[in-house]
């Protein structure tokens, strides 16, 4: 009886196909364009909320991280670019929140001063 490899051929074909698909799956992920766009938007939103005045450290860090993310993306380092873009977004969101907090606290102090002033005027009338 002759040994035949005919029964192995379909298994070998399936194994080669599985390897090819797994290698294609390991190929680089798509460029982080959405992450970079989200980071740009977050930095712009923080800038519009006067983060330069109220959270200068965080907005500067966010801008640096965004610049580094853009440079990494330009050099084909997509994973690093994605990580830096997410970091830039988080830092910009923190700067935005701190700026909004500072504005809100200033408004609260102003309202409290107005209330104190009104109370004094009402007591003066009595």
Q: Answer with the residue of higher pLDDT: 124 or 113.
A: 113
Q: Answer with the residue of higher pLDDT: 10 or 45.
A: 45
pTM for the full model? 0.70
**Judging by beta carbons within 10 Å of its beta carbon (0-12, 13-18, 19+), is residue 58 exposed, middle or buried?**
buried
Q: Answer with the residue of higher pLDDT: 3 or 95.
A: 95
Beta-carbon contacts of residue 83 (< 8 Å; ≥ 6 apart): 69
Q: Could you read off the pLDDT of 38-91 as tens digits, one per residue? A: 999 999 999 999 999 999 999 999 999 999 999 999 999 999 999 999 999 999
């Amino acid at each position: 009886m002759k040994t035949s490899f005919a029964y192995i051929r379909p298994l070998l074909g399936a194994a080669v196909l599985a390897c090819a698909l797994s290698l294609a799956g390991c190929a680089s992920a798509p460029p982080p364009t959405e992450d970079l766009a989200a980071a740009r938007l977050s930095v712009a939103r923080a800038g519009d909320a006067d983060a330069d005045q109220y959270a200068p450290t965080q907005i500067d860090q966010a801008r640096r991280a965004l610049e580094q993310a853009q440079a990494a993306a330009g050099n084909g380092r997509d994973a690093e670019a994605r990580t830096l873009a997410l970091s830039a977004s988080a830092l910009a969101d923190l700067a935005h929140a701190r700026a909004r907090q500072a504005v809100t606290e200033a408004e609260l102090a102003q309202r409290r001063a107005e209330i104190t002033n009104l109370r004094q005027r009402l007591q003066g009338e009595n």
